């Protein structure tokens, strides 16, 4: 996640670029296009229903959509659901919405879990919420808002679970979906995690994701140029070993398709790094957001860290300039 200082520098640069762009458009007799009035773009949020597919309050027709579920491609929604696509998962929709903002057509639907691995440091808060860690990543589950699949109650140490959800303050994941897989069997259990490569050792064919040692000697590597290096954001699938390391089977570059210039974005997530010092600035899943000109829904919405919101707008210079911020609590 970008630092706050870096966030403010990006904000200033992008704001200047936006003002210059608007000035040029007006002087030339043009107009500025804003999101929320229909068009082609990306919608990212929790799946709330099927029939078509419902994400962020929009019903997307999927008759001619391509589905990608954990890297596997499917031609129909029924095949994707059979492969595991489910309500509660956070998915990314590429497609168009109409002027009403309530219906659209999806060209592709992409789902990839946040993390999959063994549960440790399990804590029960006694109010329907629990926390646990997977590879050092804290996950929060809530009986009232997390969707559970094939779940064994109570959750136990060394259960293998797949998690989908939103990144929250304090490096936590608020789980919208948790699926029980199996009980940990070192040497046989497949796991998945993402992170930034550190301690890269070409001779030793290893690197770290956080404190987890990754052996990539037998891995299929799918990154630009096929070259791994420190600082690269990757997703690793592999086999959990007795010593806690992972023998990687596949390594891919982590990419959310959010470019530095992009129109018609609808992004659901948890507010982090909130500041109202120079405007309503915050991040969602590491993406900088400027909500200083946004319409709030409800009108008395009090923005702050930890709030679940949907943001609509355009990305300019790496900043998502919001036209609308809506509560998804």
Tens-place pLDDT, residues 201-210: 999 999 999 9
Distance between CA atoms of 255 and 105, rounded to whole angstroms? 23
- Measure the CA–CA gap between 10 and 158, rounded to whole angstroms: 42
DSSP E strands, 216-286? 220-222, 233-240, 246-253, 262-275, 281-284
* Boundary (domain end) residue, out of 159, 183, 207: 183
Nearest to 188 by CA among 237, 236, 240: 240
* Residue 22's pLDDT band (cuts 50, 70, 90): very low
Instruction: Tally the domains of the chain.
Output: 4
Q: Under a CB-based contact definition with an 8 Å cutoff, are residues 83 and 90 in contact?
A: no
Q: Is 35 exposed, middle or buried (0-12, 13-18, 19+ CB in 10 A)?
A: buried
pLDDT of residue 279: 75
Distance from C-alpha of 42 to C-alpha of 132, rounded to nearest angstrom: 31
Tell which wins on pLDDT, 153 or 324: 324
Of 111, 138, 171, the one marking the end of a domain is 111
pLDDT in tens, 41-98: 999 999 999 999 999 999 999 999 999 999 899 999 999 999 999 999 999 999 999 8
pLDDT at 260: 79
**CATH code, domain carrying 245:** 2.40.50.140
Higher pLDDT, 96 or 26: 96
Domain carrying residue 230: 190-253
Structure confidence at residue 171 as a pLDDT band (50, 70, 90): confident
Domain boundary (207, 235, 253) is at: 253
Confidence of residue 154 (pLDDT cuts 50, 70, 90): confident
- When pLDDT is averaged across residues 241-264 and rounded to a whole number, the result is 90
Q: Which residues on adjacent β-strands are paired with residue 201?
A: 206
Are 172 and 136 in contact by the 8 Å Cβ rule? The answer is no
Query: Is a pLDDT exceeding 80 seen at residue 30?
Result: no
101 and 48 both lie in a single domain: yes
Average pLDDT over residues 192-202: 97
**What are 147's strand-pairing partners?**
177
232 plus 269 within the same structural domain:
no
| Cα 188 from Cα 278, distance rounded (Å) | 52
Give the pLDDT score at 278.
66
Would you say residue 35 has pLDDT above 90?
A: no
User: Are 196 and 159 in a shared domain?
Assistant: no
Q: Which of 43, 49, 270 is nearest to 147 (CA)?
A: 49
Global pTM? 0.85
């Amino acid at each position: 996640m970008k630092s706050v200082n870096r966030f403010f520098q990006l904000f200033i640069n992008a704001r200047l670029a936006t003002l210059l762009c608007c000035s040029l458009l007006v002087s030339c007799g043009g107009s500025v296009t804003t999101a929320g009035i229909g068009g082609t773009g990306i919608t990212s949020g929790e799946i709330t229903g099927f029939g078509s597919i419902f994400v962020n309050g929009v019903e997307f027709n999927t008759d001619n959509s391509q589905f990608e579920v954990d890297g596997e491609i499917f031609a129909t929604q029924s095949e994707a659901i059979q492969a595991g696509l489910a309500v509660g998962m956070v998915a990314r929709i590429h497609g168009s919405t109409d002027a009403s903002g309530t219906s659209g057509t999806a060209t592709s639907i992409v789902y990839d879990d946040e993390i999959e691995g063994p549960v440790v440091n399990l804590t029960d808060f006694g109010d329907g919420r629990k926390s646990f860690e997977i590879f050092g990543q804290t996950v929060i589950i809530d009986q009232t808002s997390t969707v559970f699949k094939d779940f064994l109650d109570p959750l136990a140490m060394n259960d293998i679970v797949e998690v989908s959800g939103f990144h929250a303050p304090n490096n936590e994941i608020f789980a919208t979906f948790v699926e029980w897989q199996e009980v940990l069997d070192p040497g046989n259990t497949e796991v998945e995690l993402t992170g930034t490569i550190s301690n890269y050792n070409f001779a030793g064919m290893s690197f770290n994701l956080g404190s987890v040692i990754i052996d990539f000697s037998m891995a299929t590597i799918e990154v630009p140029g096929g070259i791994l290096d420190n600082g690269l954001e990757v997703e690793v699938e592999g086999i959990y070993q007795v010593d806690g390391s992972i023998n990687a089977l596949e390594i891919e570059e982590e990419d959310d398709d959010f470019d530095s210039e992009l129109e018609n974005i609808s992004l659901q997530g948890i507010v982090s790094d909130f500041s109202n010092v120079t405007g309503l600035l915050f991040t969602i899943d590491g993406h900088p957001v400027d909500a200083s000109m946004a319409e709030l829904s409800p009108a008395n919405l009090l923005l702050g860290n930890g709030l679940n919101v949907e943001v609509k707008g355009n990305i300019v210079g790496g900043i998502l300039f919001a036209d609308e911020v809506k509560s998804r609590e």
